[in-house]
Structure 1
Amino acid sequence: MRAIAAGAALCVAVACAPAPGDVIDDASVAIPGVAATPPMGWNSWNAFGCDIDETTIRSQADALVSSGLAAAGYRYVVVDDCWYSPQRAADGTLTASSQRFPSGMAALGRYLHARGLRFGIYAGASEQTCAQLSGTYPGRTGSAGHETTDARTFASWGVDYVKYDWCSANSDLDDQKEAFTAMRDAIRATGRPMVYSINPNSGVTSDDGVPGARHDWGGVATMTRLTNDISPQWTTDSGSNGYQGIADIIDASADATARVSAGRWTDLDMLEIGVGTSLTAAQQRSHLALWAMMAAPLVAGNDLTVMDSATAALLRTPGVLAIDQDRAARPATAVTADGTVRTRELSGGRRAVSLSNRGATATTMSFTPGTGVPVHDVWTGTSVPVGSDGTVRVTVAPDDTALFETTSGGSGQ
């Protein structure tokens, strides 16, 4: 095992700052007064896709509360694509589908707020939403040209979070900048603080990588999607233009480290924990651990009404959530060039260290916090013995991630 000095600063491919020309807007934050820590919640798309209605959303909201996830911090309930009528009203406003949401979206917002939750909604930045672009849902009700009207509508419904998808094959940066900035400014003008979550990658194909990875959108949006859509698989090997597996996003994640600060979060997409059966328990642990290490928003995507106890317990793991929500807002940096060892500076002089095994067999991994430095296992909350040489050694299962917290810096391999 090669020794690496504590606090070593390596500018490897996954941990270098974006070039100054990649900054889209130099505003300190897009929407003042929101998301001092990464937003946490639940989104309808991974479990239900277009098959949503108000009964489903209310049931999921109730389960978010009864499962203890809301108390753990998962408070945003985001209604994704396919909630709206396929045509705008005569006055140009968006309306809810009368079949799917007969009580209306304002009533849904009140339902969520009464339970201590926050209301999130989906819209498209182009002429169509993504479901309309793909032919899954009828109509052309994207917000292009309607930004002011739609932002006011969302504010009147009590919306707290807007997910805004590009949904176009047009990859012109000026067009994207204009569209996403227009909705940002419209949200600001309402006077209602709403988390603004953008995905500039949806529909775009490029050999140079997707816009969310190439540019720093932190002055435009509260959350910016880094990759294309996530899939409940460990890896898809599809490149930047297709669905991404968990490991694919982990590999891409540290590329935007220098862009992250309070109110300017890199979105690694929704959690696939408890979605389908293709991810092992170890892979799901790595999923949560590495999202937390990168200070990413934690938005569950599973069906909460049928969630098993192991999934609920994993999503509620206190130490992992505390790392994600640390107010120092400093994401992890890679200590090793392959990113299997990462460290994150936390508030109060603490440090988190992750050791990820990407091999096919269990392996011994280590880091060096220093002699006499207290260390505890974040998964169990128990103290960890440090060897006489000041090194912690642990056996890590395939695709799993060991996670530790120390009171001062340390790194390893």
Structure 2
Amino acid sequence: MRHLSSHPISTSRRRVIGVLAAGLLCTAGVAVPAAAQSPVPPPAAGAQAANGLALTPPMGFNNWNSTHCRADFNESMVKGIADIFVEKGLKDAGYEYVNLDDCWAKPERDADGKLQPDPVRFPDGIKAVADYVHAKGLKLGIYTSAGTRTCDSVGLPGALGHEFSDAQQFADWGVDYLKYDNCNNQGVDAKERYTTMRDALAATGRPIVYSICEWGENKPWEWAAGLGNLWRTTGDINDSWGSMLSIMKQNLPLAPAAGPGHWNDPDMLEVGNGGMTDTEYRTHFSMWSVMAAPLLIGADLRRATPETFDILSNEEVIAVDQDPLGKQGVVLSSDGGRWVVAKEMGDGSRAVALFNETGEAQRISTTAGAAGLPKASAYTVRDLWEHITRNTAGGLSATVPAHGTVLLRVAADSDATTHPPAVELAVAGSPLVEAGRTAPLTTSVTDLGRTSAVRVSAALTGPSGWRVKAGSATTATVLPTGRALTTRWQVTPPAGTAAGTYDLTLTAQYRSPAGERVRSSVLFRAHVVVAPPAGGGQLSDLPQLSASNGYGPVEKDTSNGESAAGDGKPLTIGGQVYAKGLGVHADSTVEYYAGGACSTVTAQVGVDDEKGDKGSVAFEIWADGTKAASTGVLTNAMAAQPLSADVSGARVVRLVVTDGGDGVDSDHADWADLRITC
């Protein structure tokens, strides 16, 4: 767990990689910040920031996630982003703030103690940039720290001791938003520091949205509603599935603290930066919207793909985030990584996120009643990514792809049956099949609607050359409410098919009672696997079924390194160097195919030496769905620990590293000399 509140930051990298400030504990399947184990009280009456701003979560752009302090963060870039907001329709979709992060200033103040813009980056000055942005109908944000220096490697002038003069300078320049960071704060009490800047901004008379960025270290959800418009609940995000997931889990339990003018802030969006798939980015955007989080684009929009713009400009999802009631979504369930999160909307409807944390397609279900809607004869269900409307008798179910989210807007509606019935497409099992061999698979198409589905057909397709044969009926004349068309299939990949993941698609076609034709499909994954060699061997030499990691990729035979593939060092625990194994970063999961033919997995495990005296983790070995072995919390001060698990009969062996209960900062973990016996 990082402790930045009383120490200067020596490098910008520490700011980028120090992700989780609050510890995680698991309660009933939901990861909860240690600071949030007791119920979070709602803000006291009148605790809302007095400036009357940000009555819905702020939307805009911040350069940090895509540029950091690179030379291309400059006046030209900022103006270009403002242009793109207008040209690409982002302004019309609600994006408003174009925010500068660290590195905009010169290293020293002038003779009068005033901040100075970097003349190379901003030759025309900040006011000229603000004027340009304002002329586009947008607003400008700026950054500084509640310390003597900011967080970048040089340490530019911070605002501690200069709050009133700096705030006035920002107001004179036409700044509309301040991100106030936490570095180099000299140990001054957080609430005191952030209160002083609140007062300084108010004294300018200019409306300036106030973003408190103290990383959740001092539980700002308990006190900051009377100071700022938003407060960071976590450390910095990075562009990885593990980082986004961990931050989401920390922020979800804090729902009672959020509301109009005072928002939980789980950090900026990584959508479009390239470290996640589009499916994962849709989950990121969906869950931030359900959590009523600020939507601050972190991608360089000058280089963004059409898919990135499609995600960021989905106005139906944005409407969930921007709902004026201002409720943050609450977790209804999270068993087995199958999350249901519901958000009450101002019009009485509910936004319901069916989120699949796992690496395989999963059926996730709830009901309209569980989401908080009144009992009704029928409900309308709007899929906010597919942009289709159906009717349901009350059931809400979907097979959700790995790391995906189905985002629904559900309302009680007596006229719902004018829409076609909703159907659920499900797959029993995720096939693990060796090339040239056959795997059984069962699919179902279930009518969830108040009305019947008629002339129903199901089709399963695979990659070119795969043999997919139905072993039972693929059609039904009519499916009344709750009835299913179930089909058994035999799936055979050609001999010689390379090990890896392949897509299969289940498609249903049907008609509503009124004759409207409907087509629905779901994508899921099949794994072509290779049986482990007789006798077994080093697992790092065998193909992985799946892998997820907190920072960077899982590394083979080196430490994690934390960034790009291949950036690790020799695996080293307590000074002992190991030639073989895996280098990971909590939270991490790696799966291997054992095919029921193996007996034991052994390893030497511990925290890698590359992070000095930091890091604490716990290791687990799972055989199919059963935990077969685990360690207690291990720290960098400990030598490598032997770990052995009986995996007899297991088809899949899963290796898990958790954060040890105190957040994932510096949690570099090694599975050294990792062997399987078969």
TM bucket (normalised to shorter chain) is 0.7 to 0.9
Is residue 289–residue 320 contact of structure 2 (8 Å, CA) maintained in 1? yes
Partner in structure 1 of residue 225 of structure 2: 218
Task: Report which of the two structures shows the higher radius of gyration computed on alpha carbons.
Answer: 2
Contact in 1 for aligned 2:149/2:155 (Cα 8 Å)? no
Amino acid at match of 1:250: M
Distance 1:211 1:75, change over 3 A: same
Aligned pair 1:39/2:61, yes or no?
Answer: no
**8 A contact 2:339–2:364 mirrored in 1:** no
Q: Deviations over 1:284-334 (max 9, x none)?
A: 111000000010000001011111111001101111000000000011111
Find the residue that maps to 1:407 and give its secondary structure.
strand
Are residue 129 (structure 1) and residue 150 (structure 2) matched? Answer: yes
Q: Residues 332 and 342 of structure 2 are in contact (CA less than 8 Å); yes or no, is this contact kept in structure 1?
A: yes
Equivalents in 1 of 2:403, 2:121: separation in Å?
A: 40
Give the alignment partner of residue 375 of structure 1, picking from 364, 369, 381: 381
Distance of aligned partners of 1:211 and 1:249 in 2 relative to their CA distance in 1, 3 Å threshold: same
Q: Does 1:256 align with 2:270?
A: no
- Equivalent residue for 2:340? 341
1:404 corresponds in structure 2 to: 408
- Aligned partner of 1:180 in structure 2 is 194
Output one character per residue of 1:204-250: Cα deviation in whole Å (capped at 9) or x when no partner. xxxxx732467442112111001000000000xxxxxxxxx111111
Residue 147 in structure 1 maps to residue 140 in structure 2: no
Residues 312-360 of structure 1: per-residue CA shift (max 9 Å, x gap): 0110111100000000001111101557101110011111111001122
Check 1:199–1:408 CA distance in 2 against 1; reply closer, same or farther (3 A cut).
Answer: farther
User: Is 1:325 aligned to 2:339, yes or no?
Assistant: no
Distance 2:319 2:192 in 1: 36
Instruction: Please tell me the residue identity of whatever aligns with 1:393.
Output: S
Contact 1:35 1:195 in 2 (8 A): yes
- 3-state DSSP class of the match of 1:289? helix
- Matched residue SS, 1:33: coil
1:194 is aligned to: 208
Q: Does 1:303 align with 2:303?
A: no
- The residue that corresponds to 1:393 in the other structure is 397
Mapped to 2, the partners of 1:164 and 1:49 lie a distance apart of 16
Q: 2:129 aligns with which of 104, 108, 114?
A: 108
CA distance in 2, matches of 1:138, 1:247: 30
> Is the CA contact (8 Å cut-off) linking 1:373 and 1:408 kept in structure 2?
yes
Distance 1:312 1:160 in 2: 25
- The code of the aligned residue for 2:99 comes to V
Write out aligned runs for 1:81-120 (5 A): 81-120=102-141
- Once the two structures are TM-superposed, the CA of residue 373 in structure 1 deviates from its matched residue by 1.4
SS at match of 1:148: helix
Aligned-pair identity in percent equals 39
Structure 2 counterpart SS, 1:349:
coil
Match of 1:75 in 2: 96
Separation in 1, partners of 2:280, 2:326: 25
Letter in 2 for 1:150: D
Task: Pick closer, same or farther for the CA change 1:34–1:262 going to 2, 3 Å.
Answer: same
CA deviations over 1:175-199 (Å, ceiling 9, x no partner): 1111111000100111111110011
| CA–CA distance in structure 1, aligned partners of residues 29 and 261 of structure 2 | 24
Q: Which amino acid aligns with 2:284?
A: H
Superimposed CA distance per residue, residues 19-50 of structure 1 (whole angstroms, 9 cap, x where no aligned partner): 66x97x98522242211100000001111111
**Secondary structure, aligned partner of 1:285:** helix
- TM-score, normalised relative to structure 1: 0.85
Q: Shift of residue 138 of structure 1?
A: 5.0
* Counterpart contact for 2:282–2:405, Cα < 8 Å: yes
- Name the structure where helix makes up a greater proportion of residues: 1
Q: Does 1:49 align with 2:49?
A: no
Q: List, as ranges, runs of 4+ consecutive aligned residues in structure 1 with deviation greater than 4 Å.
A: 10-20
Q: 1:60 to 1:402 in 2, by over 3 A?
A: same
Whether the aligned pair in 1 keeps the contact of 2:221 and 2:264 (CA below 8 Å) is no
Q: How many residues align?
A: 372
In 2 relative to 1, CA 26–229 (structure 1 residues): closer, same or farther, beyond 3 Å? farther
In the alignment, is the contact (CA less than 8 A) between 2:378 and 2:412 conserved in 1? no
Per-residue Cα deviation, 1:108-152 (whole angstroms, up to 9, x for no partner):
100000011100000111000011xxxx2354x100000000000
Uncovered stretches (5+) of structure 2, i.e. residues with no partner: 1-27, 369-374, 414-678
Please give the secondary structure, in 1, of the residue aligned with 2:392. coil
Indicate if the aligned counterparts of 1:41 and 1:299 stay in contact, CA closer than 8 A: yes
Maintained 8 Å contact 1:360/1:398? yes
RMSD of aligned alpha carbons:
2.4
